[in-house]
Structure 1
Amino acid sequence: MNFQRTPMARAMVTAMAAAASLPLHALAQTEPQTLAPVVVSATPFSASEDAQILTPAKILAGSELRDKLGTSLGETLSHELGVSASAFGAGASRPIIRGMEGPRVKILQNGMAVSDVSSLSNDHAVAADFGTARQIEILRGPAALLYGSGAIGGLVNVVNERIPTMLLPKPTGEAELRASSADRGKALSLAVDGSAGNIGLHLDAQVHETDDYRIPGLAAPANPASASGRLPNAFTRQRNVGLGMSHVADWGHIGASVGTLDDHYGIPTDERAFIDLKKNRYDVDGLFKDPLPGLAAIKFKLGATDYTHTEKQQDGTPVTDFLNRTLEARLEATHLPLAGWRGSFGMQTEHSNFAALSAATGTPDAVPKTRSTSVAGFLVEERDFGPLRASAGMRIEAVKRAPDAASGLARRNFDLASYSLGGLWQFMPGYGAGLTWSRAQRAPSTEELYSNGPHESTSTFDIGSPSLGKETSHNFEISLQKTAGLMRWKANLFQNQVDNFVYGRIPGTRVDEAGAIDPTGEFTQRFWSQGDATIRGAEAEVSYNLRGEGWSLRGFADTSRGHLKGAGNLPLQPATRYGVDVGYRQGDWRSGISLLHAQKQDRLATFETSPTAGYTQVDASLSWTQRYGHSRITWFALAKNLLDQDIRVATSVLKDSVPLAGRNLVLGMRVNF
């Protein structure tokens, strides 16, 4: 594998030098301690984030999550190792993991699919209630074995524990109020848990509003007539509320929840369109301990989603209605050790009805009414052989796409098979070396197969291909890590070879809203096509005392390159990045400063026209906690983009006309009780 050596070497030297430069008295004032493991819920073994083999993991929780919280899920996760964001204004930004985006990155909420349409286009928001999340889990790499073909590139799991799994002796919760300067933003969130007898109760809610955000210069530097000062039509208005309850006993629990989300946000393009999004979600969750001989537990989940969003013109005229109604069921059993092997097996089904219809006539506009069904079985096992922990797994899945008969389009059936083998060798206490190979398959999505119409917000006329074949990814990864002590580090090298990679090919032809060629038309043709692709990359991270008092340090770097066989670079690939975070905690005070540098990204696809300039982003935080009995009040200040840089990310289709926000000060208070 050929990796870009210079940036990574420079980044590793920077990170190691920063660690080595800590003054000795600063190191000495922090007593050695055992750091509490952070448990990843979206894994078969509920292992800590340092023990993952099949899918390297990262968890955002507690104060770290609250400091990084943004107006979108992509913005919240954009500084994590191997993760960037699509950055389609403030309202819509989806995570991109190791250069893969859209339907290859699955978004979960409490272990079940979010079931929105954010994978269809970058202007569609992720309909997850992340503002009240207890933790957000990032699984980079081949997570397809447990969660389906949509996770071929990785997954993000938003955990808000809406269905209680334990009884609390008294009500507990968290409330937060914050305001931000760059976008005149205001946010209020609340999450409360309690119990009445054997019934666990949960309530969460959030209101978040922002105006058009401030930008350092021109929206489009090449166009002096473009907006300056503030980015027009970049507002957001979001409200969500969730209720949950469950019966909890020694044998386990069974419960249900309901949640609703309203999201209203602008699309910062010349058309000044905006989107009204509504989602209702219903979930059932159960766990039965020691249900049958040989089984430690049986878990089942059931989720139903009614999702709709309407794209509207600047004057409020509805243009297109996107509808997605889904029903998902999941049954998973954990068996007792058998010949030394520990593991889980189960089944998962998903039924969805999706369409993109003309708001005026109700007839298919961009995508015809399509019924999709998937049925899957999975098995994941692990076993220790002395210092070697081995993992193996498989998933067999059948996917059916059935467009409405009136469309005249053919039904498609896909049989998918995914496998994974991995090992983690603890060659000395606290040190490990890992090796993972996986083969994962993905069925083309509904829009990739059947699109045929204009998309107002992206100004593209999307044309699908009903003959697309399934994607097959062969992923190979080597890792080295130190997971004990105050000083920890890890490094990963990976290669992902994808046969029949589906991508949007843009030859540059202009068309009108009916698809007829028109040099002055407002839409650009985009064809869903296939080719063989290879993505190679490297990641490294070193940290000191991330969760203890005194000084803390994190240095990191990541890089990836994607190529289409015979067709140049993959589009929208992330820039090489490296950065340093330095923090200090003492008693009730906590502070930190972070620096992220992204290099120039000029590895463009054949139809991309402009490179993305490098940038340096500096953020800072300061907080103080007051204690009143069993309650705590935390006053916090966050400064983002302190240097007021004109930041444009290479993974955004609007990078030439939509920069990120300029200098932003966030003030707020948080009450834990």
Structure 2
Amino acid sequence: MHRFSRSPLPLRFSPLAAALFVTAPSHALELQPQVITANPLGNAQLAAPSTVLEGDTLTLAQKGSLGETLNGQPGVSSSYFGPGASRPIIRGQDGDRIRLLQNGVGALDASSLSYDHAVPLDPVNVERVEIVRGPAALLYGGSAIGGVVNTLDNRIPTEAIEGIHGAGELRYGGADTTRSSAGKLEAGDGTFALHLDANARTFNDVRIPGYAHSASVRATEDADDNGGKHRLANSDGRQDGGAIGGSYTWDHGYAGLSYSTYDANYGSPAEDDVRIRMQQEHYGFASQIRDLDGPFTSVKVNAGYTDYKHSEIEDGEVGTTFKNKGYEARIEGRHQPLGPLEGVIGAQVNRSQFQALGEEAFVPQTDTDAAALFILEDWQATERLKLSLGGRLEHTRVSPDAQGNERFEAADKNSDFTAGSLSSGAVYSLTPVWSLAATLAYTERAPTFYELYANGAHVATGTYEVGDASLSKEKAVSSDLALRFDNGVHRGSVGVFYSHFSNYIGLLGTGRTLNDEGEADASGIPEYTYSGVRARFAGVEAQDHWALGENAYGKWALELSGDYTRATNLDNGEALPRIAPLRLNSGLLWEKDAWQARVDVQHASAQHRVPDNESGTDGYTTLGASAGYRFKVGQSQWLAFVKGENLTNQTVRYASSILRDIAPAPGRSIEVGLRTTF
């Protein structure tokens, strides 16, 4: 078996001017107010920096994975592992520090366990994505210590539906020659509502500008073992999914159920002979009752049960099978105003049963149970000043079972953690144009089962991972400060953030190489350990939508954004790994009648601030362009679009990807698509 060896917007407006196309053509270059639905108070003046993607903006940003779809949003980068797997990274934080939600609750998978494990979600099914940058552990648990990504799909309709409505989409092209189709149908009589959707996506090996392996890696390899040229080997795959859901709606609420399924098969670019077969079934329940007369004005319940499995297939034989099944449920009640205070009180429980089966399993069977209570209060202190304060108390029990495997002898007893979080925020209106938003939070996170007990070679990533059963809770103090502005011509924000971890659990390279038995071997695979260190994350984010005006040639706007994160291991003074460099984005938007277009230039600086035993990345500048035309056929609305990415065919290696030295991002690509709604 061959293995590679190396050293290893504020809520008041939609981000990046709602990117390419907005649902109403006459407002494509105008920013509309946004409300984060994941905020139980429904307040568009949330102090935390947040971003919303929806409508045609999301359609044009869409790629085959969630991480690549969101890559380039302010503060968001990608764990890119080829087109089959990619998870969002927020401000340099990844894995179990970023909480991925579907309709407000977590759906179990194994994507946080390893970079090659895909998020079992095709973005084509998503109607809206909400991103909260910075700690959101208060409402969603310790695994949201770095941020939250919430996807909404209306599989349980929350509003009455009259008649029959639907949507469909076809797209072809891209660097991986994607062939994608999707459809959605919703019907209702004003009381009962039904939702159906289905999708299918197939893609080839990704085209890349030059060699798959970087020059530094090729220098250590034989000429016939350099990963190939112009194509990223074993990066092809497919993914299919669908759902059925329904709800009963009335004037003061709704209640409904849903069932969804996801099936995928894709290659691991880290290993030419390894493929991953993934399956997930998810059952959901959601209900809300509004306009109550008791101590609570409304009560909302969300629950989901997930049965997830994926197998790592090597040379046609199943090497390791990962299974994760369990549930998550939360209830939150919005109480009657207590003097000037408005707020919610809630509880959350979740359980997961994880198994890794096979000779190459690198984590033991583990059950994880957690229960939490939380509270969030808002206070309109003055006409200009709004304050928020909340807290969360969460208890987690991790129960491993080594099942006689000597490699997991550390997994011989339960681990219990009680984590507490406090958060405060303020939004102050300086003038009708300028406002100041600030947050301060203390958050704790219990270590996960793999951070505690991992011990073995992970075939799909070509690494040897080692946990530490003595790890204590992750603890951080974080703050944000942003200046927001809106004078009708310019609308945006400039902000800074800072997080200090007294115990940061990182997957850090040791510089050693080991064989499959965990013994030192110069020709083996790199060792990575889960280690608790003191750490600091700091950075800046800025964005501006500039309405340039309108003339005989159409309406014009310019969008500018940038972000930078600096992360340091304070125990040794080295940089933390897999941190995106300084990134600058600019986009020129145009629309006239039914036509719309955009040209983008994106620049990323070189990233040479890396740990001593890891490689850096070169800087790059890419060019993108797109155009769209809207038309009607009967009662249906249509959008025909074409978009090009990396048009100058630059070699792009993401500093945030563990495969940066062997799996570059896609080269020049053109994609066409057709979407309809009726």
TM-score (normalizing by structure 2): 0.91
* 1:80 Cα offset (Å): 0.4
2:111 corresponds, among 118, 121, 124, to 118
Partner residue, 2:597? 591
CA distance in 2, matches of 1:36, 1:670: 22
* 1:59 Cα offset (Å): 0.5
* 1:546 Cα offset (Å): 10
1:400 corresponds, among 397, 408, 416, to 397
1:481-503, CA deviations, whole angstroms, 9 ceiling, x for partnerless residues? 01452420201111100111011
Matched, 1:165 2:165: no
Pairing of 1:529-608 with structure 2 (within 5 A): 529-545=531-547, 550-567=555-572, 568-608=574-614
2:474 corresponds, among 456, 471, 475, to 471
Q: 1:411 to 1:305 in 2, by over 3 A?
A: same
2:364 corresponds, among 360, 368, 371, to 368
2:96 corresponds, among 103, 122, 125, to 103
* 1:215 Cα offset (Å): 0.7
Partner residue, 2:208? 215
1:223-273, CA deviations, whole angstroms, 9 ceiling, x for partnerless residues? 254211211101120001011001111231110000000011111124431
**1:32–1:486 CA contact under 8 A, matched in 2:** no
Q: Matched residue of 2:96: which SS?
A: helix
Partner residue, 1:450? 453
Q: 1:171 to 1:80 in 2, by over 3 A?
A: same
1:629 corresponds, among 624, 628, 634, to 634
The amino acid that maps onto 2:46 is: Q
Partner residue, 2:65? 72
**1:167–1:194 CA contact under 8 A, matched in 2:** no
The amino acid that maps onto 1:580 is: S
Partner residue, 2:300? 299
Matched, 1:649 2:663: no
Partner residue, 2:3? none
1:524 corresponds, among 517, 523, 526, to 526
Pairing of 1:52-67 with structure 2 (within 5 A): 52-53=46-47, 55-67=48-60
2:199 corresponds, among 206, 218, 241, to 206
1:315-358, CA deviations, whole angstroms, 9 ceiling, x for partnerless residues? 21111111111111100101232212111110000011112221
CA distance in 1, matches of 2:548, 2:138: 31
**1:218–1:228 CA contact under 8 A, matched in 2:** yes
CA distance in 2, matches of 1:326, 1:545: 48
Q: 1:141 to 1:544 in 2, by over 3 A?
A: same
**1:86–1:94 CA contact under 8 A, matched in 2:** yes
Partner residue, 2:6? none
1:554-591, CA deviations, whole angstroms, 9 ceiling, x for partnerless residues? 10111010001132110111110111011112221111
1:513-552, CA deviations, whole angstroms, 9 ceiling, x for partnerless residues? 222222233x322221111000110011111249998112
The amino acid that maps onto 1:425 is: Y
Deviates more, 1:198-207 or 1:39-48: 39-48
Gaps of 5+ in 2: 1-15, 18-25, 404-408
Matched, 1:611 2:616: yes
Q: 1:36 to 1:611 in 2, by over 3 A?
A: closer
The amino acid that maps onto 1:76 is: T
Q: Matched residue of 2:361: which SS?
A: strand
**1:276–1:311 CA contact under 8 A, matched in 2:** yes
Pairing of 1:411-422 with structure 2 (within 5 A): 411-422=414-425
CA distance in 1, matches of 2:63, 2:402: 43
The amino acid that maps onto 1:191 is: K
Q: Matched residue of 2:519: which SS?
A: coil
Matched, 1:512 2:509: no
**1:34–1:485 CA contact under 8 A, matched in 2:** no
The amino acid that maps onto 1:436 is: T
1:349-405, CA deviations, whole angstroms, 9 ceiling, x for partnerless residues? 0011112221x6xxx821111111110001111121220010111111001101126
1:173-224, CA deviations, whole angstroms, 9 ceiling, x for partnerless residues? 2100000142121000112211146211111111011000111111114225
Q: 1:169 to 1:246 in 2, by over 3 A?
A: same
The amino acid that maps onto 1:99 is: G
The amino acid that maps onto 1:395 is: R
The amino acid that maps onto 2:371 is: V
CA distance in 1, matches of 2:108, 2:28: 45
CA distance in 1, matches of 2:30, 2:598: 22
**1:357–1:367 CA contact under 8 A, matched in 2:** no
CA distance in 1, matches of 2:357, 2:385: 54
Deviates more, 1:443-452 or 1:283-292: 283-292
* 1:605 Cα offset (Å): 1.1
**1:575–1:650 CA contact under 8 A, matched in 2:** yes
CA distance in 1, matches of 2:256, 2:279: 24
CA RMSD in angstroms, aligned pairs only: 2.0
Pairing of 1:252-263 with structure 2 (within 5 A): 252-263=253-264
CA distance in 2, matches of 1:486, 1:56: 21
Q: 1:541 to 1:416 in 2, by over 3 A?
A: same
Matched, 1:185 2:178: yes
1:57-107, CA deviations, whole angstroms, 9 ceiling, x for partnerless residues? 101111111111011111101110011101111111111101111111111
CA distance in 2, matches of 1:297, 1:560: 40
Q: 1:181 to 1:399 in 2, by over 3 A?
A: closer
Gaps of 5+ in 1: 1-17, 20-29
Q: Matched residue of 1:146: which SS?
A: helix
CA distance in 2, matches of 1:547, 1:288: 45
Partner residue, 1:3? none
2:496 corresponds, among 493, 498, 503, to 493
1:435-471, CA deviations, whole angstroms, 9 ceiling, x for partnerless residues? 2110011111110001112100111121111110001
Matched, 1:275 2:273: no
CA distance in 2, matches of 1:520, 1:99: 31
Partner residue, 1:42? 38
Q: 1:318 to 1:405 in 2, by over 3 A?
A: closer
Matched, 1:237 2:238: yes
CA distance in 2, matches of 1:542, 1:632: 30
CA distance in 1, matches of 2:162, 2:375: 37
Partner residue, 1:93? 86
CA distance in 2, matches of 1:497, 1:242: 42
**2:63–2:123 CA contact under 8 A, matched in 1:** no
Q: 1:295 to 1:515 in 2, by over 3 A?
A: same
Q: Matched residue of 1:480: which SS?
A: strand
**2:365–2:402 CA contact under 8 A, matched in 1:** no
Matched, 1:246 2:232: no
The amino acid that maps onto 1:626 is: F
Q: 1:514 to 1:33 in 2, by over 3 A?
A: closer
Partner residue, 1:156? 149
Q: Matched residue of 2:162: which SS?
A: coil
The amino acid that maps onto 2:474 is: E
Pairing of 1:139-150 with structure 2 (within 5 A): 139-150=132-143
Partner residue, 2:383? 386
